[in-house]
């Protein structure tokens, strides 16, 4: 090793220390840098003396210098400076929050640190230890540093190197291809020197022009795979997100699509999207992904804030480092940086629609430490423009959707009002049914009282005469038979009174239950028994044709009794005074599983112009004061509540038939008529 090399090697200490101080902007102990330069400058004069190098060793790999006392002093000081620089680098890595800066420190730490360690290990062969000098492997850390410069753009040269490599390789390939063609043509066309003809360069130019684009693309792909692995495909990313946004009308989905595309393609620490809110008159972070999600999601920036004012005024992307380097508007600079800090953003891209900022995309740092390239900005600007249009479309769609929802809510409210009206109608109908039922019972009380008065009067007379007979002293055995007959007659009349009272109670009972087992024969008989006093004075013949094995139905006994009362009473009023007859008939339709009740009279009938209105409320053909017009209407409503049907068939001059059909529940068994149903 030449002694002249050490004239410069002794300056490793101050140069390395100076670089670390400058790169990390270290302000404390800056006196160490000039002190190191002074030490190296002083030592430089001794590098050519025996105090620094005293000879050489002969090893298997050749001769190597033998260190003197001052060399070991240099080695000691160099080791201390290296350890101190490594300490500063390691501490800076921990304290640095900027991923770009942190990544640069790592590569500086690995590149220069490993190189310095390998150089220091040369002390081993210089001390007589026969080992190959590690300093000769110093090219390895330099390759690592070069890789960092190329891949992570440590010195902002990545884009130039990338393009330079592409075009350098293309140029070399085309030159080789051109030379190959010249040699090949000269060999094929010997003696003609075809390369000297004027058309030959034109011919080659056309060939090169034809193959340039595909060759460039192939070389670009190869270089990206080797040196730029992990870079996104700008065109493919833009095409994919454009197709996805085309069919999305949900704002939340659009925002998530923007964030996922950016954070996955560029591998950022965090991405957030803020949108303008008309209600709050501010930009509010709508969604965020990555680090610091909780802190960023609640941020709200108004128009008067310095960062938003700058963004709205410039209507273009804002870089954090651009703001840091500006000296103007110093009063707002600190506030802008503070707001960028809240967003954890190194870049802000506005979303512009109709020349107005409708939102912005806030981007953190790249996890790789790379800086944003022109392709990144082109993608982000295109994405921001497309997303602003999609978001405005989504807002318009949401407005229309909200109008539809409001309309639906109004319809629902109106429906509820109608439901309440229907419920009120049902309550009114229920009250009408009860009122009509009570009115009918009141009309029947006089007749029933007369019916009860006859048997009770008879019983009272017989009991009195029997008591007198028994009290007479000359009572003889001949009177015993008469007394027994009188008592039997009394018992019969009492039973008759009991039956009338029971029928009246059954028909007048007010309940809301529609699940009672009801025998229609019993209902008709009770109604007929209650109405007996109304038709016994007239020449009216009642014909009963009851189906003996009729099944029970589920319903309300009292309400069905009111239906029978209304229908039979109307028939009695039609035939009274005309010596007519009324036929009461029950039956069972097995095919339709329905119980049938029919009331046919031989009255004067109902005109066709009137029959269509007889079930309407308050419609009556009777004289004023003799009818309310609610009897058949209430009967119709009661039948409908039992899920049945009521029909009327009439022939003017011949009579009328009312027919009631009621469904039989499947779980009700057919029973023979046995007395009265309850």
Residue 213 has pLDDT above 70, yes or no: no
Clarify whether residues 652 and 522 are in a common domain: yes
Greater pLDDT, 16 or 593:
593
What is the span of the domain harbouring residue 108? 3-156
Residues 231 and 162: their CA atoms lie apart, in Å, by 12
SS3 68: coil
Domain assignment of residue 411, yes or no? no
Clarify whether residues 188 and 303 are in a common domain: no
Q: Please tell me the predicted confidence (pLDDT) of residue 587.
A: 94
- Lowest average pLDDT, out of 6-20, 174-188, 296-310, 375-389, goes to 174-188
Residues found in the chain? 678
**Residue where a domain stops, chosen among 204, 227, 250:** 227
Residues 527 and 517: their CA atoms lie apart, in Å, by 17
Q: Please tell me the predicted confidence (pLDDT) of residue 657.
A: 94
Clarify whether residues 596 and 657 are in a common domain: yes
Q: Please tell me the predicted confidence (pLDDT) of residue 506.
A: 55
Domain assignment of residue 317, yes or no? yes
What is the signed CA dihedral for 628, 632, 637, 642, rounded to 10 degrees? 140
Clarify whether residues 380 and 240 are in a common domain: yes
Greater pLDDT, 554 or 322:
554
Q: Please tell me the predicted confidence (pLDDT) of residue 116.
A: 78
Greater pLDDT, 495 or 560:
560
Residues 417 and 514: their CA atoms lie apart, in Å, by 27
| Cβ-based burial of 575 (10 A; exposed 0-12, middle 13-18, buried ≥19) | buried
Domain assignment of residue 29, yes or no? yes
Q: What would the mean pLDDT of 515-528 be, rounded to a whole number?
A: 89
Residue whose entry in the numeric block shows the structure tokens 């967003």: 343
Domain assignment of residue 661, yes or no? yes
Domain assignment of residue 406, yes or no? no
Clarify whether residues 544 and 677 are in a common domain: yes
Greater pLDDT, 254 or 140:
254
**Nearest alpha-carbon partner for 600 in 587, 610, 618, 615:** 587
Q: Please tell me the predicted confidence (pLDDT) of residue 668.
A: 38
Q: b or e along 188-226 (b: 16 or more beta carbons within 10 Å of the residue's beta carbon)?
A: eeeeeeeeeeeeeeeebeeebeeeeeebeeebbeebeee
Residues 646 and 632: their CA atoms lie apart, in Å, by 10
Q: Please tell me the predicted confidence (pLDDT) of residue 669.
A: 38
Q: b or e along 468-483 (b: 16 or more beta carbons within 10 Å of the residue's beta carbon)?
A: eeeeeeeeeeeeeeee
Clarify whether residues 84 and 212 are in a common domain: no
Clarify whether residues 213 and 86 are in a common domain: no
**Residue where a domain stops, chosen among 141, 156, 171:** 156
**Residue where a domain stops, chosen among 127, 156, 185:** 156
Domain assignment of residue 440, yes or no? no
Clarify whether residues 302 and 389 are in a common domain: yes
Residue 585 has pLDDT above 90, yes or no: yes
| Cβ-based burial of 120 (10 A; exposed 0-12, middle 13-18, buried ≥19) | middle
Residue 288 — φ and ψ, nearest 5°? -150, 150
* CATH number (domain holding residue 622): 3.30.565.10
Residue 546 has pLDDT above 90, yes or no: yes
Give tens-digit pLDDT for 251-282: 788 888 888 888 888 888 889 888 888 888 88
Q: What would the mean pLDDT of 8-25 be, rounded to a whole number?
A: 82
Residue 339 has pLDDT above 60, yes or no: yes
Q: Please tell me the predicted confidence (pLDDT) of residue 663.
A: 93
Clarify whether residues 215 and 256 are in a common domain: no
CB 364 within 8 A of CB 344: yes
Residues 227 and 219: their CA atoms lie apart, in Å, by 12
What confidence category does residue 676 fall into, taking pLDDT thresholds of 50, 70 and 90? very low
Residue 540 has pLDDT above 90, yes or no: no
Greater pLDDT, 486 or 520:
520
Q: b or e along 588-607 (b: 16 or more beta carbons within 10 Å of the residue's beta carbon)?
A: beeeeebbbbbbbbbbbbbe
CB 600 within 8 A of CB 655: yes
Long-range contacts (CB closer than 8 Å, 24 or more residues apart) made by 604-612: 604/574, 604/652, 604/653, 604/655, 605/650, 605/651, 605/652, 605/653, 605/654, 605/655, 605/656, 606/648, 606/650, 606/652, 606/656, 607/652, 608/652, 611/648, 611/650
Clarify whether residues 560 and 624 are in a common domain: yes
Domain assignment of residue 261, yes or no? yes
Residue 121 has pLDDT above 80, yes or no: yes
* CATH number (domain holding residue 393): 3.30.450.40
Average of per-residue pLDDT values in the chain: 76
Q: Please tell me the predicted confidence (pLDDT) of residue 672.
A: 35
Q: Which residues pair with 268 in a beta bridge?
A: 366
Greater pLDDT, 185 or 657:
657
Q: b or e along 82-100 (b: 16 or more beta carbons within 10 Å of the residue's beta carbon)?
A: beebbebbeebeeebeebb
Q: What would the mean pLDDT of 294-302 be, rounded to a whole number?
A: 79
Residue 660 has pLDDT above 90, yes or no: yes
Domain assignment of residue 487, yes or no? no
Tokens encoding 392: 């405005």
Q: Please tell me the predicted confidence (pLDDT) of residue 229.
A: 47
* 520: Cβ contacts below 8 Å, ≥ 6 apart: 550, 553, 560, 586, 595, 597, 662
Q: Residue 29: which region, alpha, beta or left (left: phi > 0; alpha: psi -120 to 50)? A: left
Q: Please tell me the predicted confidence (pLDDT) of residue 147.
A: 62
**Nearest alpha-carbon partner for 355 in 323, 314, 412:** 314
Q: What would the mean pLDDT of 400-426 be, rounded to a whole number?
A: 82
**Could you tell me what percentage of the chain is helix, strand and coil, using 3-state DSSP and rounding each to the nearest 5?**
60, 15, 25
Percentage of the chain lying above the pLDDT 70 cut:
67
One DSSP character per residue, 340-375 reads: HHHHT-SEEEEEEETTEEEEEEEE--BTT-PPP-HH
Instruction: Count other Cβ atoms within 10 Å, centred on residue 645.
Output: 14
SS3 31: coil
Domain count, the chain: 4
Greater pLDDT, 70 or 226:
70
Tokens encoding 634: 């209430």
Q: Could you tell me the end-to-end alpha-carbon distance of the chain, in angstroms, rounded to an integer?
A: 128
Beta strand segments in 472-535, E? 516-518
Clarify whether residues 120 and 213 are in a common domain: no
CB 55 within 8 A of CB 66: yes
Clarify whether residues 193 and 57 are in a common domain: no
Residue 674 has pLDDT above 50, yes or no: no
Q: What would the mean pLDDT of 31-49 be, rounded to a whole number?
A: 88
Residue 72 has pLDDT above 60, yes or no: yes
Give tens-digit pLDDT for 628-645: 667 788 888 889 989 999
Q: What would the mean pLDDT of 87-109 be, rounded to a whole number?
A: 72
What confidence category does residue 334 fall into, taking pLDDT thresholds of 50, 70 and 90? confident
């Amino acid at each position: 090793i030449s002694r002249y090399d050490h004239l410069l090697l002794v300056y490793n200490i101050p140069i390395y220390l100076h670089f670390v101080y400058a790169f990390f902007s270290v302000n404390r102990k800056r006196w160490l840098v000039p002190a190191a330069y002074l030490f190296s400058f002083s030592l430089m004069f001794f590098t050519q003396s025996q105090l620094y190098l005293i000879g050489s060793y002969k090893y298997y790999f050749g001769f190597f210098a033998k260190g003197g006392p001052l060399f070991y002093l240099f080695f000691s000081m160099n080791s201390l400076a290296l350890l101190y620089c490594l300490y500063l680098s390691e501490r800076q890595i921990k304290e640095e929050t900027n991923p770009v800066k942190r990544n640069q420190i790592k590569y500086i730490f690995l590149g220069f640190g490993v190189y310095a360690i390998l150089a220091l290990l040369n002390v081993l062969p210089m001390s007589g230890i026969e080992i190959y000098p590690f300093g000769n492997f110093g090219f390895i850390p330099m390759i690592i540093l070069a890789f960092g410069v190329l891949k992570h753009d440590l010195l902002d040269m990545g884009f130039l190197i990338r393009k330079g490599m592409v075009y350098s390789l293309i140029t070399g390939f085309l030159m080789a291809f051109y030379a190959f063609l010249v040699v090949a043509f000269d060999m094929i066309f010997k003696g003609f020197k075809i390369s000297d003809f004027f058309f030959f360069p034109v011919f080659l130019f056309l060939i090169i022009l034809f193959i340039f684009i595909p060759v460039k693309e192939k070389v670009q792909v190869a270089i990206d795979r080797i040196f730029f692995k992990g870079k996104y495909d700008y065109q493919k990313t833009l095409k994919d997100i454009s197709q996805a946004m085309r069919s999305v009308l949900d704002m939340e989905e659009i925002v998530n699509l923007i964030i996922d595309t950016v954070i996955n393609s560029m591998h950022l620490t965090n991405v957030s999207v803020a949108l303008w809110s008309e209600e709050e008159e501010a930009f509010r972070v709508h969604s965020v992904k990555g680090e610091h999600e909780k802190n960023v999601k609640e941020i709200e920036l108004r128009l008067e804030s310095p960062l938003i004012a700058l963004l709205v005024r410039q209507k273009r992307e804002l870089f954090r480092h651009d703001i840091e380097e500006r000296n103007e508007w110093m009063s707002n600079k600190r506030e802008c940086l503070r707001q960028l800090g809240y967003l954890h953003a190194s870049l802000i891209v506005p979303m512009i629609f109709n020349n107005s900022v409708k939102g912005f995309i806030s981007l953190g740092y790249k996890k790789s430490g790379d800086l944003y390239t022109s392709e990144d900005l082109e993608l982000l600007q295109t994405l921001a423009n497309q997303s602003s249009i999609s978001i405005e479309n989504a807002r318009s769609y949401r407005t229309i959707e909200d109008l539809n929802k409001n309309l639906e809510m109004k319809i629902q409210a109106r429906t509820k009002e109608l439901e309440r009206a229907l419920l009120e109608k049902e309550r009114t109908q229920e009250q009408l049914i009860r009122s009509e039922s009570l009115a009918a019972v009141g009309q029947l009380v006089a007749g029933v009282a007369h019916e009860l008065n006859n048997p009770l009067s008879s019983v009272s007379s017989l009991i009195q005469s029997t008591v007198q007979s028994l009290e007479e002293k000359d009572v003889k055995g001949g009177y015993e038979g008469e007394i027994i007959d009188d008592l039997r007659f009394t018992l019969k009349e009492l039973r008759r009174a009991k039956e009338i009272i029971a029928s009246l109670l059954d028909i007048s009972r007010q309940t809301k239950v529609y699940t009672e087992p009801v025998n229609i024969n019993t209902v008709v008989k009770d109604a007929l028994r209650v109405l007996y006093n109304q038709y016994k004075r007239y020449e009216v013949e009642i014909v009963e044709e009851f189906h003996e094995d009729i099944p029970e139905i589920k319903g309300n006994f009292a309400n069905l009794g009111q239906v029978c009362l209304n229908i039979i009473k109307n028939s009695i009023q039609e035939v009274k005074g005309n010596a007519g007859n009324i036929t009461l008939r029950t039956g069972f339709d097995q095919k339709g599983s329905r119980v049938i009740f029919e009331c046919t009279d031989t009255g004067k009938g109902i005109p066709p112009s009137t029959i269509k209105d007889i079930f309407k409320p308050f419609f009556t053909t009777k004289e004023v004061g003799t009818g309310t017009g609610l009897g058949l209407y209430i009967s119709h409503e009661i039948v409908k509540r039992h899920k049945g049907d009521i029909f009327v068939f009439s022939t003017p001059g011949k009579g009328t038939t009312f027919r009631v059909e009621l469904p039989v529940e499947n779980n009700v068994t057919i029973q023979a008529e046995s007395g009265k149903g309850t």
